[in-house]
Amino acid sequence: MKGNEALAEAAIRAGCRFFFGYPITPQTELAAYMAKRMPKEGGVYLQAESEIAAINMVYGASAAGKRAMTSSSSPGISLKGEGISYMAGADLPGVIINVQRGGPGLGGIQPSQSDYFQATRATGHGDFHLIVLAPSTVQEMTDYVFRAFDLADEYRTPVMILADGMLGQMMEPVVLPEPKTEFPAKPWAVTGHKGQRTHNIVNSLHLKPERLEETNVERYQRYDRIKATEQLAEEYRVEDAEIVVVAFGASSRIVRSAVNKAREKGIKAGLIRPITLWPFPADAISAATDRAKAILTVEMNMGQMVDDVRLVVCGRVPVEFFGRAGGIIPTPAETLAVIERIAASLEGGAR
């Protein structure tokens, strides 16, 4: 099963019955899959007139209390910025998939991780965050989209799956989750009050700044809870690692190979793979920093997550960055070379 299809099937099993998309490479298979399956599930597949319409349809379906999703790739995600900010402002759950490609501008269509900042810092205007999950295998594409819907409902926040063209296009074996049948109640949803309650309002406007600040503060308290409880990271050979490599998604796979090769050469390398990019797994990285001599961040961009790593490491050990941009996937060999260089300089320093 292709990664894109796995995302789609898992969403359906998570109870998503509303998909609003707009074609863009490299995520088209997702929409195609939805178009095939949704009618059979009694769900709605609707190709919107644009990415903007699509995210606003997610906003609408979510306001009605439904599990809804949209998916796109980098330029299309930029167009959704306003809508995502509205969802955050109105505390609406929903899942947004970004199968990243190289940028900026029209860029290219090859895999990239250059929307990290956009996903974790500023998907749109205003103070807000998304929960951002970064799968690294097709199996995880399945698992995390499933999880994303639950997180979205629990915290009333949009959740983003940050994937890339490689993960979207590749096939790997995958075990699908059992379809979800029980869903949380949404008393805030607009479904018609039937004369039985006061009218519900879904809204992000607060003309009084005091009121707007209150909503911001309440939201950031929720974010604090998310930070406290939802950080996720995978550690690989980190226990005794002197060089800890931090990488997520597609690039973490390359780093894993490079770490293995480094170990073969006697270099104590390890990998921390952030799974939640927001909340950033600061705890895991901080703990590893205590034992490490150097940190290396590997990304498929010009250096973005490395800022978050630096914020956690806070000067305790050197933090280096290695990245490839424009849709190029770094090779294990060149990554290994960087690790070796760092190892050599550490030794040099020790002498």
Partner 1 sequence: MAASLNMLLAGFGGQGILFAGKLIAYAGLIEGRELSWLPSYGPEMRGGTANCSVCLSDEPIGSPLVLEPDVLVAMNQPSLDKFIDSVVPGGKVIIDSTMCQRLPERDDVDIFPVPATQLAEDNGLKGLASVILIGKLLREIGFCDPRTLDEAIVKSVPPKKAHLLPKNRKAFEIGMLNEDGESVPVCSLPEDWSVE
Partner 2 sequence: MSKIVFERPHSLTDAQFSYCPGCTHGIVHRLVAETMDELGIEGTTVGVAPVGCSVLAYEFFGCDMVQAAHGRAPAVATALKRALPENVVFAYQGDGDLASIGMAETVHAATRGEKITIIFINNAIYGMTGGQLAPTSLPDQVTQTSPYGRDVNEAGFPIRVVEMLSTLDGVALAQRVTVDTPKNVRAAKRAIKKAFEYQVEGVGYTIIEVVSTCPTNWGLSPVDALQWLRDNMLPYYPPGVYKDVKADGFANVAEAAAARALELAGGGEV
Ligand X SMILES: Cc1ncc(C[n+]2csc(CCOP(=O)(O)OP(=O)(O)O)c2C)c(N)n1
State the burial class of residue 264 (Cβ atoms within 10 Å of its Cβ: 0-12, 13-18, 19+). exposed
User: φ, ψ for residue 159 (rounded to 5)?
Assistant: -125, 135
CA-CA distance, 292 to 228, in Å (whole number)?
24
Which segment (135-143, 187-195, 300-308, 314-322) binds partner 2 by CB under 8 A?
Answer: 187-195
| Token pair in block for residue 302 | 């010009």
Nearer to partner 1, 136 or 289 (CB): 136
The site partner of 36 among ligand X, partner 1, partner 2, none (C-beta below 5 to 8 Å per kind) is partner 2
| Shortest distance, position 76 Cβ to ligand X, whole Å | 5
Among 2, 16, 56, 327, binds partner 2 (CB under 8 A): 56
Q: 103 touches which of partner 2, its own copies, ligand X, none (CB within 5 to 8 A by kind)? A: its own copies
Q: Which stretch binds partner 2 (CB under 8 A): 127-135, 156-164, 190-198, 259-267?
A: 190-198
List Cα–Cα distances, 320 to 47, 166, 245, 273, 315, in angstroms: 43, 25, 9, 16, 12
Nearest alpha carbon to residue 158 among 76, 87, 63: 87
64 is an interface residue for partner 1 by CB under 8 A: no
3-state DSSP assignment of residue 322? strand
- 325 makes contact, choosing from partner 1, ligand X, its own copies, none, with CB < 5 to 8 Å by partner type, with its own copies
Beta carbon nearer to its own copies, 7 or 77: 77
Single residue of 24, 134, 319, 343 touching ligand X by CB under 6 A: 24
Query: Distances in Å between the alpha carbon of 39 and those of 33, 35, 43, 182?
Result: 11, 7, 6, 21
Q: Using the rule CB under 6 A, is 179 a contact of ligand X?
A: no
DSSP 38: G
Binding residues for partner 2 (CB under 8 A)? 18, 20-25, 28, 31-32, 35-36, 39, 44-54, 56-61, 63-66, 68, 75, 82-83, 86, 90, 105-106, 190-196, 199-205
